[in-house]
């Protein structure tokens, strides 16, 4: 906090309020004012709200305390919460419960991630084996088609060769016959 010197009304209020007081006394008054407003805000919020939403708590205290301090001639430069604690260890227990929940969620998340990874790995292996079998089937089909075509060509070649052999023998026989006739 600081005494506002630029605003004459605020400076006059600060002079009236703090004339003759030491810097420590002024700081103590400002601190008690902020603490009082903190207690008032705490009365309207649950412990869980204060613990979980410190920003909201800080903003509400800042808003209420600033207007009160301005009337004293003091402007709030900065307001932050240093620590939130209680004597019964309730807040610590809240933290333990939240920590246990986070750890539980982490274990569940890790187990689910491992399960999902295992499923994806099994699917990948299955797809690999399927692709391998399909490839082997395609290779077998190609081999079969090759052998069928080769057999068809061999039949055609052998048929022509046999026809050529018979045509040669027939020609030889005809030629012999012509020779004998002549």
Q: What is the pLDDT of residues 122-131, one digit of tens each?
A: 999 999 999 9
Count the domains in the chain: 1
Closest residue by Cα to residue 57 from 89, 34, 86, 33? 34
Which pair of structure tokens corresponds to residue 13? 């209020």
Does residue 60 sit within a domain? yes
Q: Looking at residues 20-32, what average pLDDT do you find?
A: 88
Query: Which pLDDT score, from 0 to 100, does residue 69 have?
Result: 84
Does residue 103 sit within a domain? no
CATH code, domain with 69? 3.30.479.30
Longest dimension (CA), the chain: 163
Closest residue by Cα to residue 63 from 34, 85, 31? 34
Does residue 141 sit within a domain? no
d(CA 175, CA 182): 11
Query: Which pLDDT score, from 0 to 100, does residue 173 have?
Result: 93
CB atoms within 10 A of CB 50: 18
89: left (phi over 0), alpha (psi -120 to 50) or beta: left
Q: What is the pLDDT of residues 113-163, one digit of tens each?
A: 999 999 999 999 999 999 999 999 999 999 999 999 999 999 999 999 999
pTM of the model: 0.44
Query: Which pLDDT score, from 0 to 100, does residue 170 have?
Result: 92
Half-sphere exposure of 179 (CA within 13 A, CB side): 6
Does residue 171 sit within a domain? no
| Domain span including residue 9 | 2-84
Q: What is the pLDDT of residues 52-95, one digit of tens each?
A: 787 888 888 888 888 888 888 888 777 777 777 667 776 667 66
Q: Looking at residues 30-46, what average pLDDT do you find?
A: 85
Does residue 16 sit within a domain? yes
Which pair of structure tokens corresponds to residue 23? 């810097």
Does residue 37 sit within a domain? yes
> In the chain, what percentage of residues exceed pLDDT 90?
43
Cβ contacts of residue 18 below 8 Å, gap of 6+? 3, 25, 26, 29, 72, 73
Does residue 6 sit within a domain? yes
Does residue 72 sit within a domain? yes
Give the helix ranges, DSSP H, for the chain. 8-18, 23-43, 47-52, 54-71, 90-181
19: left (phi over 0), alpha (psi -120 to 50) or beta: beta
């Amino acid at each position: 906090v600081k005494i506002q010197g630029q605003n004459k009304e605020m400076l006059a209020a600060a002079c009236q309020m703090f004339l003759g007081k030491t810097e420590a006394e002024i700081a103590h008054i400002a601190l008690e004012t902020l603490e009082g407003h903190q207690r008032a805000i705490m009365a309207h919020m649950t412990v869980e709200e204060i613990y979980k939403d410190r920003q909201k708590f800080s903003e509400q205290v800042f808003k209420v305390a600033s207007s009160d301090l301005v009337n004293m001639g003091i402007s709030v430069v900065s307001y932050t919460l240093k620590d939130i604690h209680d004597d019964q260890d309730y807040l610590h227990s809240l933290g333990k419960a939240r920590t246990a929940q986070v750890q539980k969620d982490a274990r569940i998340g890790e187990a689910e991630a491992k399960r999902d990874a295992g499923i994806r790995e099994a699917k990948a292996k299955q797809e690999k084996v399927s692709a391998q079998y399909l490839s082997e089937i395609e290779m077998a089909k190609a081999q079969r088609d090759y052998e069928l075509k080769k057999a068809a060509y061999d039949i055609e070649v052998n048929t022509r060769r046999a026809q050529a052999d018979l045509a040669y023998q027939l020609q030889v026989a005809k030629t012999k016959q012509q020779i004998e006739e002549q």
